[in-house]
Structure 1
Amino acid sequence: MSNTRISKKEEVFLTEQTSKLFDPLDFADTFSTTNHEDSLEEISKLIFTLKSKWIIALFELRNKLVSVFGLKTDIPSDYKEDFVVGGYVGFFKIYAISDEQLILGADDKHLKFRVGIHNTQAATNNIKVTTLVQLNNTFGKIYMTIIAPFHRLIVKRMVGQGYSDAAPSAS
């Protein structure tokens, strides 16, 4: 089964915490998958570990193009893989950790970005991955207009990497 069939686009899913992150909120979307086997730490690593060659190539192209405009493309000086607030999962900083939700993200001069990974405990599509963006300037608006279609393709594929078909445990 392909990753695009085991993840799906949904209505934007906001929790109390994620609904307060950005005002105004300029872009948001949610993709979901099913995983009752792994912890949110493990799921976040499954999702944000780049595996597909085409996704890696698109990120490399993006980094080459935006470096001309002074956007961040290098590993941050505070990078550490520790799963704690301030650590990183893939290339995203950890802003908050709870039993039900992680908040990761990055800030740059053109936009602020957060992703919430939330476990709803539903029987299917329990893992909700919500992207939230606040645009800082006109360049951010142009950037999101160009990136949004690629974002949707890439995120759907990456969320599918978090899928596990193990049945939920009875509580």
Structure 2
Amino acid sequence: MIEKQNKIPDNSILKNDEKSFHYVDSFQSQDATIRPDNDVISIGKLFLTSGPGWADRLMSIRDKAVGVVGLKTAGQLTSEAKNPDNFKFQVGEQLGIFKLYAKTGNELVLGDDDKHLSFRVSLLLDGKKKIMITTAVEYKNVFGRIYFLPVKPIHQLIVKGTLREIIRKLENETAENLQTTNHR
């Protein structure tokens, strides 16, 4: 089950900057099976590779539309920055469309800054049953507010679908490990 809240979790790094954000949502798994070897980096890799396919097609359309007004697009990324196998998860590193801003033992803060808005995405592990994906947006101007208006409901569908897929992959990994252990 996935629960949505409109606040930053108390134990998130983002909580320190809460007053600067104009929009916040947080999607949380309630009973994910997170194995001991699943750390925040493995969850980060799953996050970067678990978005819905239809979202990739929408991003391509978005990039064509906003590229003409000078906003950042995925097409500007190097091939190395697009390949999750190359990611070292070092603060400052470009991880696909996200830059890694902060990292602790249980949280990654990704995001980007553009001229119309800045956003941060927190991937937070809370114990071994809960994964939280929190998005916080700061509008820099009126264009940022206008831009995010139609993006917001699509963003929520993408994040919820991504979290659902992460949970599915974790459950499949756990089932495969149990089968392997039982066959020894």
Pair in the same fold by TM > 0.5: yes
The ranges of structure 1 where at least 4 consecutive aligned residues each deviate by more than 4 angstroms after the TM superposition are 76-80
Deviation at 1:81, TM superposition (A): 2.5
Is 1:24 aligned to 2:20, yes or no? Answer: yes
Provide the residue aligned with 2:118 in structure 1: 112
Larger Rg over CA atoms: 2
Aligned residues: 160
TM, length-normalised to structure 1:
0.82
Q: Which moved more, 1:35-44 or 1:12-21?
A: 12-21
Deviates most, 111-120 or 78-87: 78-87
Q: 1:54 maps to what in 2? A: 54
Secondary structure, counterpart of 1:119 in structure 2: strand
Please identify which structure carries the higher helix content.
2
Separation of aligned partners in 1, 2:163 and 2:2:
6
Q: Secondary structure at the match of 2:132?
A: strand
2:106 and 2:125 in contact (8 A); partners too: yes
Q: TM-score scaled to structure 2, two decimals?
A: 0.77
Q: Secondary structure at the match of 1:21?
A: helix
Structure 2 unaligned segments of length 5 or more: list them: 176-184
Question: How much is the aligned-residue C-alpha RMSD, in angstroms?
Answer: 2.4
> Which digits, 9 at most, give the CA deviation of each residue in 1:84-129, with x for residues without a partner?
1112333211111111211111000000110111111164xx1111
For residues 28 and 91 of structure 2, the distance between their equivalents in structure 1, rounded to whole angstroms, comes to 23
Distance 1:139 1:153, change over 3 A: same
The higher-RCO structure (CA 8 Å, 6+ apart) is 1
